Amino acid sequence: MKIGLIYTSTTPELIELVEREVRMALGEGVELLSLQDPSILADIRAAGYVEAAPAARLVSLYMQAVSAGCQALLNLCSSVGEVADSVQSLARYLGVPIVRVDEAMCRQAVRSGARIAVVATLPTTMAPTKATLYRVAREMGKRVTLLECLVEGAFGLDQDAFRARMAQHIGAVAEEAEVILFAQGSMAYCEAYIADVYQKPVLSSPRFGAAALRRALEERGSL
């Protein structure tokens, strides 16, 4: 089985974590094809939202993975989750599921509490993650309050400095929140640390995305 992992930008820590979670969900024998285009996220950050050109390049990555024989794709950037949503009819036609890494996480957050702290290092990830949370809450018949926590200056820091910056900023919303949600998969290595510091449930997307990928393959009849 061949799976496409679609990144807009990444770090060695994120690649390692995602590949580990996917192998745990699908087995060590799964073949992983990683495709990335950092210019997509760079253009989104410059514009402040997803414009047509970076969206088109992302769709091209999807089609490249399909052409390479991938049986399912995992979209690993929450900033472009709505692009993944927009091609679901095509995915069904092709018979190749395109799974968002963050949607199952957002559903779990809504199940876990009504006051959700949404933590991001990039404003371009904050807005689409909030939109997904509001959408899934509506679909689940729930009402949620979202607390924004933008960890400015954290993007690109080393792990120790990143953890310290995360803990400092999350402290401003942790007391009010029932659950803390990391909007970017690259934050996932801080999950246990922040949960220990604040004694609150903390959710990050890679493990949820891998589980959702398995469910999509089961529905397709591939597992």
Residue 177 DSSP SS3:
coil
In the chain, CATH 3.40.50.12500 covers: 103-204
Q: Which CATH fold topology does 103-204 show?
A: Rossmann fold (3.40.50)
Provide the pLDDT for residue 153: 80
Alpha-carbon distance of 80 to 206, in angstroms, equals 16
Level-2 CATH architecture, domain 2-101+207-220: 3-Layer(aba) Sandwich (3.40)
Which DSSP helix (H) or strand (E) runs through 149? strand 145-150
Q: Which residue has the tokens 């949600």?
A: 181
Q: What is the structure's pLDDT at 101? A: 96
| pLDDT, tens digit only, all 223 positions of the chain | 999 999 998 888 889 999 999 999 999 999 999 999 999 999 999 999 999 999 999 999 999 999 999 999 999 999 999 999 999 999 999 999 999 999 999 999 999 999 999 999 988 999 999 999 999 999 999 999 999 999 988 777 788 898 999 999 999 999 999 999 999 998 998 999 999 999 999 999 999 999 999 999 999 888 8
Comma-separated ranges of CATH 3.40.50.2300 domains in the chain: 2-101+207-220
Q: Tell me which residue of 167, 74, 50, 77 sits closest to 119, measured CA to CA.
A: 167
Nearest Cα to 128, choosing from 178, 180, 184?
Answer: 184
Question: How long is the chain?
Answer: 223
